[in-house]
A and B are shown apart, each in its own frame.
Chain A
Amino acid sequence: MSSSPSNDHPGASGAARPTRREAAQRRRRRLVGMLGAAVAGAVTVAVVLILLDTRERDDAVGTTVDASNGLRAPAAAIDGDLTRQGRTLGDPAAPVLVVEYADYQCSFCQAFGLNGLPKLLDDYVATGMVRLEYRHLVVIGGDDPDGESYRAAEAAECAGDQGKFWELHELLVANSLGEYQGSFTPERLKAIAGLVDGLDQTAFGSCVDARTHRAEVARLSAEAKQAGLRSTPTFVVNGATVTGGVPMLNEAIDEHLAGS
């Protein structure tokens, strides 16, 4: 049998009795010191990881460009050289059509718009392999025709009337504050649109106030729901619905490209 450390088993002599308790107390003090360091290290590591994670997201949202309204520009703006036709981006002759169904209040749509979309555009749209179409699918406050998601979608269409759909779209994505947070009140929509170069603000404001595209947004959303789409963002690649995130989308695109 191996011998134990003398601190743990000091022996049975009477003189050793107080030593055992003292040894336990010393051991306790050592453990408390180690635990203090371990807990401080643990909290530091966890907080640093969380801060890194949130910082990464803030960087993707971009820099503040209108502090009075708390508005930000996207970190990765859509390439101005891409062909833009209404709600589509890219070469009309591209072999693969990707349709993104999304809601401007949806946080996962925002995450895709800020992080996934720039890579999709670089890898597939700029290379002429994919044409991207954006369609409105209002799922947040979908029963409220005056809700923020409808308002934002209508505003994007109003900008589209002036050939500026994507210019406003990327700003709407970057400036969504979450669900029901007042991101897309008429006043804030006009402030966001104020960041779009060359947009006729008066015409845009009239379009937003008159709710010119209310019926169109409702129709697009209803069509998507009739097609069985319930969540956002949903991607349809050459007519086939893709479930899952960006990796599944890329996989589906690659399969269609391989077969084309």
Chain B
Amino acid sequence: MPARSGRGGIRVASAALAGLGVAVSAYLTASHFDEGLLVCGLSDCTTVQASDYATILGVPVALLGLGMYVAVLGLVVARWVRPGLTLATTAATFGLTLAGAIFTGYLTYVELFVLEAICQWCVVSAVLTVLLLMTEGILVSRLLAIPEE
């Protein structure tokens, strides 16, 4: 029972992180199209959001992030309501968050060393992605464990 309740806590954490990620990336996506929405007291969000690195092939990076968080949230909910799919949904969630973390690492490098400007909301999103990867990594490691006889 303790292991199961611990897993439940991690699952709640994943859902909460994905929900926060949806909120932050939706806000960044909206402010990509309307810069007046961008509130950024601590850093230089406008430089980052208005830079050419804010889009890939015309698609806002914030929208890609929103897509990832929505997909993760959907998988986390699916894992909850369909326990029989736990293995598939956990593997897919781990893969999605890993892809997100790698790309976030690249974007953070661009912010620090190319644009030399930091966007606080982008940092929040990066931290959420890394935390999601950690919670999903914990779930994966628990699923991989083989019970003692």
Contact = CB atoms under 8 A, between A and B. Distances in A.
Interface of A: 4-5, 17, 20-21, 24-25, 27-28, 30-32, 34-35, 37-39, 41-43, 45-47, 49-50, 52-53, 56-57, 60, 107-108, 111, 115-116, 243-248, 251
Contacts of B143: 27-28, 31
Given A43-B102, A108-B47, A244-B47, A31 B95 contact: no
Chain B at the A interface: mostly helix, strand, loop or mixed?
A: helix
Interface of B: 35, 46-47, 49-53, 56-57, 64, 83-84, 87-88, 90-92, 94-96, 98-99, 102-103, 106, 114-117, 140, 143-144, 146-147, 149
Given A35-B94, A38-B94, A42-B95, A245 B46 contact: yes
B57 to A, nearest CB: 6
A45 B101 CA distance: 11
A31 B90 CA distance: 9
Contact of A115 (B52, B90, B91, B99): B52
Contacts, number: 107
Given A46-B99, A244-B50, 8 more contacts: A28-B144, A38-B92, A38-B95, A42-B95, A42-B99, A53-B106, A108-B116, A246-B50
Contacts of B51: 108, 111, 245
Chain A at the B interface: mostly helix, strand, loop or mixed?
A: helix
A27 B46 CA distance: 48
B140 to A, nearest CB: 7
22 contacts: A21-B149, A27-B87, A28-B144, A28-B146, A31-B90, A35-B94, A35-B95, A38-B92, A39-B98, A42-B94, A43-B99, A43-B102, A45-B99, A49-B64, A49-B106, A52-B56, A52-B57, A53-B53, A56-B52, A244-B35, A245-B51, A248-B35
Contacts of B140: 31, 35
A17 B15 CA distance: 34
